[in-house]
Structure 1
Amino acid sequence: MMKWIPIALALMLAGCSSTPEMNYYQLPSASKSTVVSSREDASRPAVWVEHVSVPDYLAGNGVVFQRSDVQYVIASNNLWASPLDQQLQQTLVANLGEALPGWLVSASPLGQSQDKLNVNVTGFHGRYDGHAVISGDWILEHQGQIIKRSFSLTLPQNKDGYDALVKTLAAGWQQEAQVIANSILSNN
């Protein structure tokens, strides 16, 4: 009986020392892809999403969570599947494409007569009170005119956990894309 005790202890320690599971997140977009001929593209109004920037604390791999009014934690096991700035740009292009039917929206330069959009995201994280925070500003260059707007969204999460946080952040980002699209349409 005594010789089984070290084996049982070893098994218990092995069970306790297992490494936590890594989770990777990608922002979903509501875009439907369409194929349009290049002849049609030339006559369509166009928007170039030139750049989406994020501050250093959001530029790492970990999803960010705000623990208090002054403390932020960068997750080590809940990670972005690709850099957040790239995900934000890709989903913004997809969401704007959905919100601007008849427009050509791209992350690459499109020609001489395109609108140009740059976005600076200052907040894209979860918060201790169960809300997702999305903030920043964007600048749209439209026919020689510059339009600058700030945004600040605080959205409640429906559930706890990183899955719900990422879905809430994506919904807020899509909401801001609609605001940008409305501004583009009203200035066109």
Structure 2
Amino acid sequence: MMKWIPVALALGLSACSSTPETTYYQLPAAGNAAPASGLATGSRPAVFVQHVSVPDYLAGNGLVYQSSDVKYVIAASNLWASPLDQQLQQTLVSNLSAALPGWLVSASPLGQQQDTLNVNVTGFHGRYDGHVVISGDWLLEHQGQIVKRSFALTLPQTEDGYDALVRTLAKGWQQEAGDMANAIRTLN
């Protein structure tokens, strides 16, 4: 009888230890994107969102959290559902479409009469002080003219947790898309 006690104890302990559940996150896009009209591409302004790049520390699957002024933690169980650069590009197209009604905004080339937008994201993470950081720069080519602007947003995260982190990052990205849309509009 005594020889079964270690086996039962081992089974009991293994039942208590479980691997953490993996959670996947997707950035929500603007809910009020303008519907496409029947106008031909040439009769309305067009923006080609060519590329959104992220640095290596953001290019992995895990959400990133800055735990001190010099330390970053990449989550092992809280992951992006698809690559972050793709999510940023897709939501940027959606957010710009909402902010530029009557414009054609796409992640595919649209023809010769288009503005071309490239974005370099250098920060897209949560921070130890309860804020999120969204930073980088963007480059817009408009009729041979090149405009480059930097951005640096720090927004308070109103709740704890990864859900709130992703929602706040999405809110900041939408805000930056609005700033890009204003700059694009002034050039046209």
TM-score of the alignment, normalized to the shorter chain, above 0.5:
yes
* Partner SS state of residue 21, structure 1: coil
**Structure 1 residue ranges without an equivalent (≥5):** none
RMSD: 1.7
Partner of 2:37: 36
Residue 42 of structure 2 contacts residue 113 of structure 2 at CA under 8 Å; is this kept in 1? no
Structure 2: how far apart are the matches of 1:129 and 1:165? 12
Partner of 2:100: 100
Counterpart of 1:160, as a letter, is D
* Partner SS state of residue 19, structure 1: coil
Counterpart of 2:37, as a letter, is V
Partner of 1:179: 179
Partner of 2:138: 138
* Partner SS state of residue 48, structure 1: strand
Bigger CA drift: 7-16 or 175-184? 7-16
The alignment of Structure 1 onto Structure 2 pairs a total of residues equal to 187
Partner of 2:25: 25
Structure 2: how far apart are the matches of 1:94 and 1:138? 17
Counterpart of 2:179, as a letter, is V
Partner of 1:56: 56
Q: Deviation at 1:16?
A: 3.0
Partner of 1:169: 169
**Structure 2 residue ranges without an equivalent (≥5):** none
Q: Deviation at 1:41?
A: 2.8
Counterpart of 1:76, as a letter, is A
* Partner SS state of residue 12, structure 2: helix
Q: Deviation at 1:136?
A: 0.1
* Partner SS state of residue 18, structure 1: coil
Partner of 1:67: 67
Q: Deviation at 1:127?
A: 0.5
Query: Scaled by the length of structure 1, what TM-score is found?
Result: 0.93
Query: Scaled by the length of structure 2, what TM-score is found?
Result: 0.93
Which 4+ residue blocks in structure 1 deviate beyond 6 angstroms?
A: 1-4
Q: Deviation at 1:10?
A: 3.1
Structure 2: how far apart are the matches of 1:151 and 1:33? 25
Bigger CA drift: 173-182 or 141-150? 141-150
